[in-house]
A and B are shown apart, each in its own frame.
Chain A
Amino acid sequence: MRAARRELALVAAIAVVGLLPLFGVPGFYRAGNLRNLAIDNLPVLVAGIGMTVVIISAEIDISIGSLFAVCGALSGLAAKAGWPMPLVALATLAAGAVIGAANGLLVARARVPAIIATLATMAILRNAIIRATGGAWIQDLPAGFQWFGLPQAVAQPVYLGAAAALFLAAAWALRHTAAGRSFYAVGCDHEAARRIGLAPGRVVLAAFTIMGALAGAAALLNFTRYPTIETNAGVGLELQVIAAVVVGGAAVTGGRGTLLGTLLGVILLGMIGTVFTFLHVNPAWGKAIQGAIILAAVVSDTAFGKRERDD
């Protein structure tokens, strides 16, 4: 039961937040609203899967907001160039993976601390979009771009299903494959990992590559919802994602974290903002509460850690 303590606490917190709209706020629990809430948070969840892998490996990637925007812009440009949508999707994922791998090489080979390496790529990528698009939104996308050409009512469940499938596959792989466990081992201790025959550099490179590809997937799930692509999107996404992962119980020192926790973290933080809007509370309070939850999560970690060690 020990491992599930964080998950139980999150379920309780989600229940409390979920109760608030029952007091005099009609409309929150309408199916349409819940569906929008879920669709809005899919990109955070999908990027959160990658970030969980990165954080378990004791690294961090703060370039994903920029990477997300780059992948979105590239998908739009490819679609406008007349590429068929499946190819657009593949190219977007590949672009994300390649840029993620570049981050990974900076960290694993050049030994630049992850926060510095990805700070640099964050700035470079953001600047590259502005240079390439002049800051303009990408418009006049082909009809097949939005919702992959499906009717919205069909596309939304498909998106939810795709994200759910991705989540389940990742959760299984992280738990039940040797490759998945290697992220945990490397995140605990590089030297100990080397002694059991792992190559920590390669594992770290893989974590960043996965992160990049999933940032691309998040971009597809996000930008294909609209008729135009906002090239300034994704600012602050990295913080939103890291917050959800940390609230979900992953240790920034590496070696610990689950995707179930990340899912609950995304749900909790995603709900708070919307619930507060429904309650007509100043959105600034939503941010403040989110901050408080992040602090509570981290502090409870160290407090629990201490107590168990002292027993």
Chain B
Amino acid sequence: MPPPLLELRAGSRTYPGARALREVDFDLRPGEVHALLGENGAGKSTLIRLLTGMERSDAGGSLLVDGAVVAEPTPRLMNAMGIAAVYQNPTLFDELSVMENLCIGEGGPLVSWRKRRAEARSRLARVGVELDLDRPVRHLRMAEKQAIEIARALGQRARALILDEPTASLAQNEAGRLLDLVESLRAAGTGILYISHRLEEVMRIADRFTVLRDGVRVGTHARGSVDRAGLLRMMAGRDLAELFPKEKVPIGEVALETRGLGCESGGVSGVSLTVRRGEILGIGGLVGSGRTELARILFGLTPADSGEIRIGGKPVAIRSVGDAMARGLAYVPEDRKAHGVIAELPVWENVTLAALRRLCGNWPDEPREEALAAGLAAELGVRAPSLHAATSTLSGGNQQKVALARWIATGPSVLILDEPTQGIDVGAKAEIHRLMGALARRGLAIILISSELAELLALADRIAVMRRGRLAGILPAAEAGREELLRLALGEERS
């Protein structure tokens, strides 16, 4: 048997505080579709980054093309060897024409537009799309941009094509055409690594399946040797031990209720749910399923255009963050570095930032601010050299505590936490879990958005699962199983 087109042996990758991939073996043969499956955070993206040369494996791992080790992989080198990738977010040149995007960076120092036009036309024909070649791509739809990306990758005579969620932004009929295209490429001998959350698609086209979980390869199976339920079971796995379940606290009256809440630009519609005092409502679902968008609607960042929000039983209008804060809402955002804390400011200023007006009116009162910050930092166990240290000098976990302290300082009645433990170490994670329990006992209603099923199952009282901007279902955590949650998130019927 000839060697695989592309192979990773014992690929590992460690980021500060987390091992994203542990000794994973993966290979891709010519003329096959090899599906890569796993939950959010299972290590799929990291694996792709190793395969395309964007990152290198830790010591002990190696990357092979046609059976020969690639000593120093770079994106350019891998590309030259015929490994092409199309990413979830198009990386096209918005201002440039369709024609130029299709051929950019190819050919010699001189550009022949006549040749490019012919080349572009034939590449578009291969993916079965008709477009005005002179139109700037910024005017195109997502599906059209995706087609251009694939056509461009193909044009580089790719022998191996990595498709990362190629249908995520496509409508059903367009997705069908993309699958036809993948099949015709396979027939032409291209090896395709296919990543998708749509199990139906994957079952239709894949010849082999590799499942990753928590950075480890759970298994690789050929078509026919595994069924849908088996794949789900492999993806779901068991709970990890490092979690600190919520203690039982009395659940009070309804703190916040939504009825048919939606926002077209955010892609969220018809969300009806309630969260009670003392309760932790988990929100699960895939990345891009509308979880963060829902939080942004509740917090007035992208105000709702349909449905209503009720607080304390009365409908309220939340048109801005100011409205949301006045109603006792607080939101600790997902991207800690970009939105959670201002890294250059000292710890104490970060803590008091959102509560300034409440605390001191129009005139800042530094001693009061510092007293408040000191109190909260002690309560949350923020480990900092001093309250005057720049927040950027703290570890990720401690920065997250600062972000949390900022919103606790506003005295909220509903606290929305978006991926509060993403990318922080196990110790800090446990502390944040403990803290959430303590806040719930105080009577706060907490909405916990998390990609980690184990975290939702351990902490939440009930779990709401989002899928494509809608609520796919709400389950009491005690009754929910991982497979059932995954099934809701992926849109699979009970089998």
- Which of B109-117, B278-286, B317-325, B474-482 forms part of the interface with chain A? B109-117
Assess whether B134 is in contact with A198, with CB atoms less than 8 Å apart: no
**Least Cβ distance of A7 to chain B in Å?**
15
With beta carbons under 8 angstroms apart, the residue of A176, A185, A309 that contacts B110 is: A176
* Chain A, range 154-199, C-beta contacts under 8 Å to B: 175-181, 184-185, 187-189, 191-193, 195-198
A192 to B96, CA, bound (A): 12
The residue on A at minimum CB distance from B90 is A192
Assess whether A255 is in contact with B95, with CB atoms less than 8 Å apart: yes
**Least Cβ distance of B82 to chain A in Å?**
15
B100 beta carbon closer than 8 Å to chain A: yes
**Least Cβ distance of A172 to chain B in Å?**
10
A180 to B134, CA, bound (A): 18
With beta carbons under 8 angstroms apart, the residue of A176, A178, A255 that contacts B96 is: A255
Among B92, B112, B134, B138, chain A packs the most CB atoms within 10 A around the CB of B138
B108 beta carbon closer than 8 Å to chain A: yes
Residues of A contacting B113 in the complex (Cβ-Cβ under 8 angstroms): 175-176
A191 with B110: in contact, given A308-B139, A309-B138 (CB under 8 Å)? no
The residue on A at minimum CB distance from B113 is A176
A256 beta carbon closer than 8 Å to chain B: yes
The residue on A at minimum CB distance from B54 is A195
Assess whether A3 is in contact with B104, with CB atoms less than 8 Å apart: no
Residues of A contacting B60 in the complex (Cβ-Cβ under 8 angstroms): none
Residues of B contacting A54 in the complex (Cβ-Cβ under 8 angstroms): none
Assess whether B95 is in contact with A256, with CB atoms less than 8 Å apart: yes
A193 to B96, CA, bound (A): 12
A193 to B75, CA, bound (A): 12
Chain B residues close to A by CB (< 8 Å): 75-76, 79, 91-96, 100, 104-105, 107-113, 134-136, 138-139
A251 beta carbon closer than 8 Å to chain B: yes
With beta carbons under 8 angstroms apart, the residue of B93, B108, B139 that contacts A185 is: B93
Assess whether B107 is in contact with A178, with CB atoms less than 8 Å apart: yes
A76 beta carbon closer than 8 Å to chain B: no
Residues of B contacting A256 in the complex (Cβ-Cβ under 8 angstroms): 95, 136
Assess whether B104 is in contact with A181, with CB atoms less than 8 Å apart: yes
With beta carbons under 8 angstroms apart, the residue of A3, A192, A251 that contacts B91 is: A192
A254 beta carbon closer than 8 Å to chain B: yes
**Least Cβ distance of B138 to chain A in Å?**
7
Assess whether A195 is in contact with B109, with CB atoms less than 8 Å apart: no
* Chain A, range 263-311, C-beta contacts under 8 Å to B: 305, 308-309, 311
Residues of A contacting B92 in the complex (Cβ-Cβ under 8 angstroms): 192
Assess whether B109 is in contact with A197, with CB atoms less than 8 Å apart: no
With beta carbons under 8 angstroms apart, the residue of A197, A254, A311 that contacts B95 is: A254
Residues of B contacting A254 in the complex (Cβ-Cβ under 8 angstroms): 95
**Least Cβ distance of B145 to chain A in Å?**
12
A195 with B139: in contact, given A188-B95, A251-B95 (CB under 8 Å)? no
Assess whether A179 is in contact with B109, with CB atoms less than 8 Å apart: yes
Residues of B contacting A188 in the complex (Cβ-Cβ under 8 angstroms): 93-96
With A178-B109, A181-B111, A185-B104 given, name 9 new contacts (CB 8 A).
A2-B135, A175-B113, A176-B110, A178-B111, A185-B105, A189-B94, A191-B91, A251-B95, A254-B95
With beta carbons under 8 angstroms apart, the residue of A181, A184, A198, A309 that contacts B139 is: A309
The residue on B at minimum CB distance from A194 is B75
A136 to B95, CA, bound (A): 47
Assess whether A192 is in contact with B93, with CB atoms less than 8 Å apart: yes
**Least Cβ distance of B74 to chain A in Å?**
10
**Least Cβ distance of A111 to chain B in Å?**
16
Assess whether B134 is in contact with A3, with CB atoms less than 8 Å apart: yes
**Least Cβ distance of A178 to chain B in Å?**
5
9 closest pairs, A vs B, by CB?
A: A255-B95, A196-B105, A188-B93, A192-B91, A256-B95, A308-B139, A176-B111, A178-B109, A197-B76
Residues of B contacting A181 in the complex (Cβ-Cβ under 8 angstroms): 100, 104, 111
With beta carbons under 8 angstroms apart, the residue of A177, A180, A255 that contacts B94 is: A255
**Least Cβ distance of A3 to chain B in Å?**
7
Assess whether B93 is in contact with A255, with CB atoms less than 8 Å apart: yes
A193 to B79, CA, bound (A): 14
* Chain A, range 1-53, C-beta contacts under 8 Å to B: 2-3
A187 to B104, CA, bound (A): 14
A178 with B110: in contact, given A196-B105, A197-B105 (CB under 8 Å)? yes
For A47-82 the 0/1 string (1 means CB < 8 A from B) is 000000000000000000000000000000000000
Residues of A contacting B94 in the complex (Cβ-Cβ under 8 angstroms): 188-189, 255
**Least Cβ distance of A307 to chain B in Å?**
10
15 of the cross-chain contacts (CB-CB < 8 Å) are A178-B105, A180-B111, A181-B104, A184-B100, A185-B93, A185-B96, A185-B105, A188-B95, A188-B96, A195-B91, A196-B105, A197-B105, A251-B95, A254-B95, A256-B136
A203 to B107, CA, bound (A): 18
A299 to B82, CA, bound (A): 44
**Least Cβ distance of B101 to chain A in Å?**
9
**Least Cβ distance of B27 to chain A in Å?**
25
**Least Cβ distance of B419 to chain A in Å?**
23
A251 to B75, CA, bound (A): 30
The residue on A at minimum CB distance from B95 is A255
**Least Cβ distance of B279 to chain A in Å?**
42
* Chain A, range 246-270, C-beta contacts under 8 Å to B: 251, 254-256
Residues of B contacting A185 in the complex (Cβ-Cβ under 8 angstroms): 93, 96, 104-105
For A132-144 the 0/1 string (1 means CB < 8 A from B) is 0000000000000
With beta carbons under 8 angstroms apart, the residue of B75, B91, B110 that contacts A177 is: B110
A181 to B138, CA, bound (A): 17
Residues of A contacting B93 in the complex (Cβ-Cβ under 8 angstroms): 184-185, 188-189, 192-193, 255
A177 to B95, CA, bound (A): 18
**Least Cβ distance of B447 to chain A in Å?**
33
A198 to B104, CA, bound (A): 11
Residues of A contacting B76 in the complex (Cβ-Cβ under 8 angstroms): 197
Assess whether A198 is in contact with B111, with CB atoms less than 8 Å apart: no
A284 to B104, CA, bound (A): 46
Residues of A contacting B109 in the complex (Cβ-Cβ under 8 angstroms): 177-179
* Chain A, range 208-263, C-beta contacts under 8 Å to B: 251, 254-256
A184 to B136, CA, bound (A): 12
A177 to B113, CA, bound (A): 10
Among B112, B134, B139, chain A packs the most CB atoms within 10 A around the CB of B139
Assess whether B75 is in contact with A195, with CB atoms less than 8 Å apart: yes
A3 to B96, CA, bound (A): 11
A184 to B105, CA, bound (A): 12
Residues of A contacting B108 in the complex (Cβ-Cβ under 8 angstroms): 178
Residues of B contacting A195 in the complex (Cβ-Cβ under 8 angstroms): 75, 91
The residue on B at minimum CB distance from A192 is B91
Assess whether B95 is in contact with A184, with CB atoms less than 8 Å apart: yes
Among B76, B93, B111, chain A packs the most CB atoms within 10 A around the CB of B93
Residues of A contacting B91 in the complex (Cβ-Cβ under 8 angstroms): 189, 191-192, 195
